[in-house]
């Protein structure tokens, strides 16, 4: 695949980056020499024991008992990593290599209160104290601790304290409604709940006391409730979660549960995805240091809530010596510059966000101009070429734009970037080390340069340990291994170029199949949403028995004050025809007030498709998992109209 090169690595990249230092270490300690990234990647996915042992050794992982092997059985599902080894994730985060005791390690900004900075010494002390408070409440090995709290230092301290005990952490962002929280936590039965009294979103105060009471009422396993006075500083008893016990780290097996993350839960109960201490530790050490080039001179920011896996990704930063910057609030308040202003205020060197946020900044005409940034990270959706262009035109020309894609299922990226790669407009630079990503055609054969199913054909340590309460592994197998036995099917369309670059073109379960030609949704959105009249859009394809092309329906949210008329419909169709192909022209275009999105801002093509084909709204989507459940009404009404008038 080719495209405009927007940035190239400097000539001394191998001397100045962490991946360069790792390559020198491999040559010195292992006698391994790799001419380029492609050769390094090939080794990392074919010699899995050699590669992952090198990550273990290079980052000096602390093991309280030795492993008997690295990977005695690579069969998926069920691959076992480092049997016999005992580790603790929190011990490695709080090691904070290269950060002095009095150096800032957590810098937190909020629209609910003044900013907070914690030094390394203060973070360790707060974790020690909260750990003692949890122990006093009977929390120990295997117990669950739940946080109904935003991206603030208390949530981070609680996670580290919980996991240091060998207990298991789970968080829901406080914008989640009662039903969404109960659907998640009733499955894991937490012993302790720590919750905020409320929060401020922009200038709007939002109380959560009613929701907290309802959650406690609905989950009888909760024995202790601790409240963080976040909306009202005088309201909470967070300070009571304290004690004098010394700090310690429970040595747990490599695959001992660390935390439970959840699928979006838009259709049925969210899947409780159990991640292990060792797998997350190794994966995050690898990707944060070698791919994102984070270390002691960095301040690492990613805009996220505690309901998205990017929070778990962000807060591993200190394990590689990076300070982290937290933000809680409305990213568009008082305007779209709010997050960019933090770059200067907090000294951010790596600014992570979502592709929709970057595109919204572009649409708003922002020019934040941040020459001090060394990198911008983008995930959550494919970033179109014009998003790449905007970053280099409006943010900085010397930074590296790192587009990545992965998932909650592995709490990392499968495909992403590295300091060794150029930035090419509209494409993801590479498959990440240790991730054997391939594209499968309909016959289950790997293809290059063609659209295919994104699959992982060799195990990764951060693949889930299990799903909670799935003793025979049935739900786990159905989620990833039901289509290609022994091969992980992720559910995305990907095209892998001969040069190793990757393009993700949307969810494979939201396929647009026009006359046997599969079309990705991402390219639709790139074209449609580039029009100044269009604020947002969603496209679905409905199969029809009597029509091989089926029916393609496009729904658009228009800029304020506009109405969809014949002229705009023609403009949209002409743009799709000229930019893509005649196959991409929708059969119908409808105006809606909002596109349904999950709480982590992902578009919901599949529930829309289900509603339009007659599935009742309550069965098509779990409203509590949506940021805007009222958006479903328009699709329900259209389905009713179409059923009444099939012509």
pLDDT digits (tens, 9 = 90+) for 121-179: 999 999 999 999 999 999 999 999 999 999 999 999 999 999 999 999 999 999 888 88
Q: Residue 646: its pLDDT value, please?
A: 62
| 530 confidence band (pLDDT: 50, 70, 90) | confident
Q: Residue 204: its pLDDT value, please?
A: 93
Q: Per-residue pLDDT for 583 more than 80?
A: no
Residue 486, helix vs strand vs coil: coil
Q: Per-residue pLDDT for 265 more than 70?
A: no
Spell out a b/e string for 290-323, using b for 16 or more CB atoms within 10 Å of the CB, else e.
Answer: bbbbbbeebbbbbbbbbbbbbbbbbbbbbbbbbb
Q: Residue 519: its pLDDT value, please?
A: 66
Q: Per-residue pLDDT for 250 more than 80?
A: yes
Q: Residue 41: its pLDDT value, please?
A: 98
- Looking at residue 296, the DSSP 8-state letter turns out to be T
- Report CA-CA distances (Å) from 624 to 187, 223, 561, 592: 16, 25, 30, 21
pLDDT digits (tens, 9 = 90+) for 313-328: 999 999 999 999 999 9
Question: Left (φ > 0), alpha (ψ -120 to 50) or beta: where does 139 sit?
Answer: beta
Q: What are phi and psi of 65, to 5 degrees?
A: -150, 150
Q: What are phi and psi of 610, to 5 degrees?
A: -65, -45
Q: Residue 67: its pLDDT value, please?
A: 97
Least confident of 229-243, 278-292, 610-624: 610-624
Least confident of 18-22, 180-184, 344-348, 414-418: 180-184
Q: Per-residue pLDDT for 15 more than 70?
A: yes
Q: Residue 64: its pLDDT value, please?
A: 97
Q: Per-residue pLDDT for 395 more than 60?
A: yes
| 627 confidence band (pLDDT: 50, 70, 90) | confident
State the SS3 of 532-563.
CCEEEEEEEEEEECCEEEEEEEEEEEECCCCC
- Exposed/middle/buried for 15, CB within 10 Å: 0-12, 13-18, 19+? exposed
Q: Residue 176: its pLDDT value, please?
A: 85
| 607 confidence band (pLDDT: 50, 70, 90) | confident
Q: Per-residue pLDDT for 98 more than 90?
A: yes
Q: Per-residue pLDDT for 647 more than 60?
A: no
Q: Per-residue pLDDT for 243 more than 80?
A: yes
* Arithmetic mean of pLDDT, 84-112: 98
Task: Tell which residue, 440, 556, 535, has the closest CA to residue 487.
Answer: 440
Q: Per-residue pLDDT for 340 more than 90?
A: yes
| 642 confidence band (pLDDT: 50, 70, 90) | confident
- Exposed/middle/buried for 67, CB within 10 Å: 0-12, 13-18, 19+? buried
Q: Per-residue pLDDT for 509 more than 70?
A: no
415 DSSP β-pair partners: 405, 431
Give the integer Cα–Cα distance in Å for 486 and 458. Answer: 9
Q: Supply 329's token pair.
A: 């609030």
Q: Residue 515: its pLDDT value, please?
A: 58
- Exposed/middle/buried for 367, CB within 10 Å: 0-12, 13-18, 19+? exposed
Q: Residue 578: its pLDDT value, please?
A: 79
Q: Residue 615: its pLDDT value, please?
A: 85
Give the integer Cα–Cα distance in Å for 326 and 315. Answer: 9
Query: With pLDDT > 70 as the criterion, what percentage of the chain qualifies?
Result: 96
Q: Residue 267: its pLDDT value, please?
A: 60
* Arithmetic mean of pLDDT, 327-349: 96
Greatest mean pLDDT among 351-360, 524-533, 547-556: 351-360
Q: Per-residue pLDDT for 548 more than 70?
A: no
CA 183 to chain CA centroid, Å, is 20
Q: Per-residue pLDDT for 239 more than 80?
A: yes
Q: Residue 622: its pLDDT value, please?
A: 74
* Arithmetic mean of pLDDT, 103-117: 97
| 625 confidence band (pLDDT: 50, 70, 90) | confident
Query: What is the bridge-based pairing of β-strands 400-403 and 375-379?
Result: parallel
Give the integer Cα–Cα distance in Å for 338 and 301. Answer: 13
* Peptide bond connecting 77 to the previous residue in cis, omega within 30 degrees of 0: yes
Give the integer Cα–Cα distance in Å for 569 and 590. Answer: 9
């Amino acid at each position: 695949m080719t495209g405009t090169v927007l940035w190239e690595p400097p000539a001394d990249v191998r001397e100045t980056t962490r991946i360069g230092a790792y390559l020198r270490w491999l040559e010195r300690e292992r006698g391994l020499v790799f001419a380029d990234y492609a050769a390094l990647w090939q080794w990392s996915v074919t010699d899995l024991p050699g590669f992952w042992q090198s990550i273990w050794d290079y980052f000096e992982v602390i093991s309280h008992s030795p492993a008997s092997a690295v990977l005695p059985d690579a069969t998926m599902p069920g691959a076992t990593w480092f049997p016999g080894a005992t580790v603790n994730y929190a011990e490695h985060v709080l090691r904070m290599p290269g950060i002095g005791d009095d150096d800032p390690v957590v810098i937190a900004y909020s629209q609910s209160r003044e900013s907070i900075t914690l030094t390394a010494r203060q973070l360790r002390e707060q974790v020690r104290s909260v750990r003692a408070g949890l122990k006093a409440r009977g929390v120990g090995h295997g117990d669950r601790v739940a946080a109904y709290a935003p991206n603030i230092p208390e949530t981070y301290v609680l996670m580290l304290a919980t996991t240091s005990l060998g207990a298991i952490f789970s968080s829901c962002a406080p914008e989640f409604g009662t039903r969404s929280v109960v659907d998640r936590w009733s499955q894991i039965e937490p012993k302790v709940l720590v919750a905020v009294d409320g929060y401020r979103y922009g200038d709007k105060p939002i109380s959560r006391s009613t929701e907290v009471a309802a959650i406690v009422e609905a989950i009888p396993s909760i024995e202790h409730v601790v409240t963080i006075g976040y909306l009202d500083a005088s309201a909470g008893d967070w300070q009571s979660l304290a004690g004098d016990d010394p700090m310690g780290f429970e040595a747990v097996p490599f695959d001992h549960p660390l935390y439970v993350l959840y699928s979006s839960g838009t259709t049925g109960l969210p899947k409780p995805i159990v991640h292990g201490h060792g797998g997350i530790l190794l994966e995050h050490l690898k990707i944060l240091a070698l791919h994102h080039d984070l270390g002691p001179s960095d301040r690492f920011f990613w805009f996220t809530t505690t309901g998205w896996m990017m929070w778990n990704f962000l807060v591993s930063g200190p394990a590689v010596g990076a300070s982290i910057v937290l933000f809680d609030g409305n990213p568009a308040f008082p305007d779209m510059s709010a997050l960019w202003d933090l770059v200067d205020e907090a000294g951010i060197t790596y600014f992570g966000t979502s592709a929709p946020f970057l595109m919204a900044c572009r649409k708003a005409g922002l020019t934040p101009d941040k020459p001090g940034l060394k990198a911008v990270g983008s995930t959550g959706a494919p970033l179109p070429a014009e998003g790449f262009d905007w970053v280099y035109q409006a943010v900085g020309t010397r930074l590296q734009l790192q587009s990545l894609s992965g998932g909650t299922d592995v709490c990392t990226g499968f495909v992403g970037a590295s300091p060794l790669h150029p930035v090419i407009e509209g494409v993801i630079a590479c498959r990440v080390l240790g991730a054997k990503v391939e594209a499968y055609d309909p016959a289950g054969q790997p293809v290059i340069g063609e659209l295919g199913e994104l699959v992982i054909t060799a195990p990764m340590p951060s693949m889930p340990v299990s799903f909670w309460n799935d003793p025979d592994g049935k739900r786990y197998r159905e989620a990833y291994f039901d289509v290609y036995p022994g091969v992980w099917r992720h559910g995305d369309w990907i095209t892998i170029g001969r040069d190793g670059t990757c393009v993700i073109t949307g969810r494979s379960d939201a396929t647009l199949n026009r006359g046997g030609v599969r079309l990705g949704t991402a390219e639709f959105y790139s074209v449609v949403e580039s029009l100044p009249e269009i604020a947002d859009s969603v496209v679905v394809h409905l199969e029809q028995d009597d029509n091989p092309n089926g029916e393609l329906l496009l729904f658009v949210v228009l800029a304020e004050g506009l109405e969809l008329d014949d002229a705009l419909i023609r403009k949209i169709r002409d743009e799709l025809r000229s930019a893509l192909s005649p196959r991409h022209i929708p059969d119908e275009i409808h105006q809606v007030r909002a596109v349904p999105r999950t709480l982590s801002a992902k578009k919901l093509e599949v529930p829309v498709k289900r509603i339009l084909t007659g599935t009742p709204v309550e069965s098509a989507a779990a409203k509590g998992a949506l940021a805007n459940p009222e958006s479903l009404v328009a699709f329900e009404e259209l389905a009713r109209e179409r059923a009444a008038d099939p012509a």
